[in-house]
Amino acid sequence: MSLFEMVSDKFHQVSEENELDGSVNISGNCSGKSKAAVTKHQDIPEAIAIIIGAGVIFLTLAASAILAALWPNCTRELKILLLLSLFIALNVAGFCLWRQTSTASASNWQKELGKRLLFLSTLVLGANLILIRLLFHVNGSIAELLASWGVGVLAISYSLRLARTGGLAIILIGLGYWLAWFELGAGQFSWLQAIVQHAPIFAALLFVPLAYWCQSRPVFILAALTLCGSLEVNLWAAFAAVGVPLHWTAAIAIALPPALLWSYDDSLYLRRTSKFPHLSPKIFPSFRRDARSLALVFLAIAFYILSFHSFWADNTQTLSLKEAIDPAELQEGLLYLFDVLLIAGGWVALFWRRRPEGSNASRTSNILACLIAIAALAQFWHLGISPIGALATLIFNALLFLLAAGLIRAGTAGKTQALWFGLGLLILQLLSRLLEYASTLEAISVGLLASGAAFFAIGFCLRICSGLKQPGLRGLGDWGMAAARFFPGRAARDILPR
């Protein structure tokens, strides 16, 4: 027997033993011991991440204890040096781990650890700014500190395309923006004053593109909320400065945010990236659906608040134009109004140029435009022409019901979130009206029974609608298909009327 035959026989013998043992499958798939070994090797990076995370926690606790013991005895320069060293160390370590993730051999836990270290470095940046302000007695407000911190985090977000730091930057700058409004009369602002006056343009040029750059929907939602909130503030500030009556301001304020959000198009930011092959619009996500969801949420909140009768009973006064306008206030109001007109005009022009025609989306947009127009007209009439408290309450209750019904109808097409949102709005409206108008327990009981019957009827109608669309029941008639869908356990011939 040759050496080759001896080796071949030995190989077949070992293969048969492994197959009987269950550790090797002849088809080429790992089983038994081999699968366990592969799973064990795959779990090694996760175990390493847990061990490293535990080590980092203990080292952080030890460093915190040492700093707490030595901090009162440290000089001012040493304190700043320690925090700056910690900031640089976290950035270097996080960047190195984040940089390694670009290679194929890097693991997911390294990428996640690098992102967390970089996020931690942004928090240390804020601690450095606070410490420098305290040690050197720097004059300034909390709003200016938060805005400075947010601008630094925003630069890090654009450099590394990190969604977490981008969200933190928007939150910090937003907090600084709202705090600055309460301190505008102090006269302590320079660059922050410009950010406050032109916050909508600042958000449109820096926050919204950051969402595409980081490919993050939460960042886009935060950016859209900041943009719409600053637009509302600029609108009220501009109209108050130039003396526009309250009914005009209220009507435009309730119509502007949902109209802009619903008409949002991604091409506003992605139409020029086709010139660069590595920045093709196909690699960026679409946020149009998120913008429209925010528009529906805004309308739902506005309609719900305005559906209470007490809101209209307390808002019956009207304002007229000012007889004399201060030139300084007029100039400031025009600065606020410039941002509103620029963003709103550009948005509306883009939507008008790219609007769909003759489609379901166009019909939905027309219906939503009618709801917004009715809401704005009710505000305008009540505050500017004649108080219509009872009629306005009825109008906004009807608008809220129509919005909830439209969401429920959209939910029957497979949009589960729209269905639950619509049902939640309907339940909230019914309970609110019961608590607002029912004064006795009997009235509340009758209202709850009516609500339960209404929801049962809605569920039955939805079941019938889904039965009408079932392809396997064609030829039985509309009611036959619906009945067969609603009673799936019985034969169709037993359900159909004879």
How many degrees, rounded to 5, is the angle at CA 89 between CA 88 and CA 91? 65
Give the integer Cα–Cα distance in Å for 289 and 410. 14
pLDDT for 161-219, tens place per residue? 888 999 999 999 999 888 888 776 545 556 788 888 888 999 989 999 999 888 889 99
The greatest distance separating any two alpha carbons of the chain, rounded to the nearest whole angstrom, comes to 117
Q: What are phi and psi of 263, to 5 degrees?
A: -90, 5
Give the best-scoring range by mean pLDDT among 6-20, 254-268, 458-472.
254-268
Most confidently modeled range among 19-33, 302-316, 333-347, 372-386: 372-386
Rounded distance, CA 474 to CA 481, Å? Answer: 7
pLDDT value at 302 more than 80: yes
Assess whether pLDDT exceeds 50 at residue 476: no
pLDDT in tens, 116-127: 888 888 888 888
pLDDT above 60: residue 456: yes
For the ranges 98-112, 400-414, 480-494, the maximum mean pLDDT occurs at 400-414
**Phi-psi domain of 475 (left: phi exceeds 0; alpha: psi -120 through 50; beta: other):** left
**Do residues 166 and 211 lie in contact, with contact meaning Cβ atoms separated by under 8 Å?**
yes
Q: What is the pLDDT of residue 207?
A: 92
**What pLDDT was estimated at residue 23?**
46
pLDDT at 472: 43
**How many other C-beta atoms are found inside a 10 Å radius of the C-beta of residue 153?**
26
Q: Can you give the pLDDT at residue 243?
A: 79
pLDDT of the residue at 399: 92
Task: Flag whether pLDDT at 378 surpasses 60.
Answer: yes
Q: How far is CA 169 from CA 145, 176, 211, 316, in A?
A: 13, 11, 12, 41
Could you read off the pLDDT of 134-157 as tens digits, one per residue? 777 777 788 888 888 999 999 999
In whole angstroms, give the CA distance from residue 56 to residue 63: 10
Average pLDDT over residues 400-405: 90
Q: What is the pLDDT of residue 343?
A: 80
What per-residue confidence (pLDDT) applies to 465?
Answer: 58
Residue 49 has pLDDT above 90, yes or no: no
Chain centre to alpha carbon of residue 80: 37
Q: Phi and psi (nearest 5°) for 215?
A: 55, 55
Of 395, 346, 344, the C-alpha closest to 373 is 395
- Summarize the confidence of residues 334-350 as an average pLDDT: 77
Asked if pLDDT for residue 404 goes beyond 80, the answer is: yes
Query: Is the pLDDT reported for residue 316 higher than 50?
Result: yes
Q: Which residue has the higher pLDDT, 269 or 466?
A: 269
Work out the percent of the chain whose per-residue pLDDT is above 90: 12
Q: Return the DSSP state at 476.
A: S
What is the percent of the chain where pLDDT is above 70? Answer: 63
At residue 295 the predicted structure's pLDDT band, cuts being 50, 70 and 90, is: very high
Residue bearing the bigger pLDDT, 495 or 184: 184
Residues 6+ apart with CB under 8 A from 369: 259
Asked if the model's pLDDT at residue 248 lies above 70, the reply is yes
| DSSP bridge partners of 30 | 24
Is pLDDT of 277 > 70?
A: no
Average pLDDT over residues 400-423: 83
Residue 414 DSSP one-character state: T
Token pair 């040493």 is found at: 78
Given phi > 0 = left and psi -120 to 50 = alpha, else beta, which region is 261?
alpha
Q: Give start and end residues of each alpha helix (H) in 243-321.
A: 246-262, 267-270, 288-306, 309-313
Q: Kindly state the average pLDDT of the residues 314-340.
A: 64
Q: Count Cα atoms within 13 angstroms, Cβ side, for 77.
A: 0
Is the pLDDT at 221 greater than 80? The verdict is: yes
Token couple for 149:
């911190």
Contact criterion met (CB below 8 Å) for 382 and 389: yes
CA distance 1 to 337: 98
Model pLDDT for residues 457-474, shown as the tens digit of each residue? 666 666 655 554 444 444
Half-sphere exposure of 247 (CA within 13 A, CB side): 17
For residue 140, the model assigns a pLDDT of 73
Whole-number Cα distances in Å, 208 to 102, 339, 350, 446: 26, 16, 16, 49
Q: Return the higher-pLDDT residue of 248 and 485.
A: 248
Binning the chain into helix, strand and coil, the percentages to the nearest 5 are 80, 0, 20
- Give the pLDDT band of residue 38 (cuts 50, 70, 90): very low
Sign of CA dihedral 235, 238, 240, 243: negative
Q: CA angle, corner 484, sides to 483 and 488, nearest 5?
A: 120
Q: Give CA–CA dist 482/498, Å, rounded.
A: 16
Res. 270 pLDDT band, cuts 50 70 90: low
- Write out the two tokens for 63: 């460093």
Q: Which of 375-379, 406-410, 465-469 has the least mean pLDDT?
A: 465-469
Task: Please state, rounded to an integer, the average pLDDT across all residues of the chain.
Answer: 73
- Within 10 A of 10 (CB to CB), how many other CB atoms are there? 10
Lowest average pLDDT, out of 102-111, 228-237, 305-314, goes to: 102-111
- For residue 358, the 8-state DSSP code is S
Looking at residue 493, its pLDDT comes to: 42
Burial category of 57 from C-beta neighbours within 10 Å (exposed 0-12, middle 13-18, buried 19 and up)? exposed
